[in-house]
Amino acid sequence: MSEQSTPRMNVESFNLDHTRVVAPFVRVADRKTLPGGDTLIKYDVRFCQPNREHLEMKAVHSIEHLTAELMRNHTDRLIDFSPMGCQTGFYALTLGVEQEDFLELLEATFRDVLEATEVPAANEVQCGWGANHCLPAAQEAVGAFLAARSQWEQVMRQEAGTRP
């Protein structure tokens, strides 16, 4: 089906051609200005190549807990950090954090993840599936993501014969 005949969907990520992206990457997935003037910026933090690989659920769950907790040590402008159902990455919803600042924030947070000695709130009292965590798997995935830092802003695969 060609792009011209594909109907526009309400969900932004459903309009993204997942066959053309090259993970890992970070992109602005949405931007909304609220009636009071504040701007919400949603980021697609993609760890894995869609439809080729995915994160194991224990790693996803642990990265979610670690990042949601540790990023708030660096900013009060994180609204939410949540996993994608496809297990290829996460969405970060921020209050007006522009991309350059978000990339620095993400890098600092992920460096904290590598130093963590436990997954925050990984217990039955504070989590709906407290036993479903793996700190080493989360740190391995985050380490690989950090190692590809220079690639984070390259979202789409370069087509043969086109300029970057």
Query: One digit per residue, pLDDT tens: the chain, 164 residues?
Result: 445 567 898 888 888 889 999 999 999 999 999 999 999 999 999 999 999 999 999 999 999 999 999 999 999 999 999 999 999 999 999 999 999 999 999 999 999 999 999 999 999 999 999 999 999 999 999 999 999 999 999 999 876 544 44
Lateral strand order in the sheet of 25-33: 25-33, 39-46, 89-95, 78-83
Note the residue count of the chain. 164
pLDDT of residue 163: 42
Secondary structure of 9-66 in HEC code, one letter for each residue: CCCHHHHCCCCCECCCEEEEEEEEECCCCCEEEEEEEECCCCCCCCCCHHHHHHHHHH
Please give the Cα distance from 117 to 3 (Å, whole number). 47
CB 61 within 8 A of CB 132: yes
Joined together, the tokens standing for residue 33 give 């200005």
Note whether 18 and 6 are within 8 A (CB).
no
Nearby residues of 53 by Cβ (< 8 Å), 6 or more positions away: 88
Question: What three-state secondary structure class fits 155?
Answer: coil
Which residue has tokens 């900013």?
75
31's enclosing H/E stretch is: strand 25-33
Q: How many of the other CB atoms lie within 10 Å of CB of 94?
A: 21
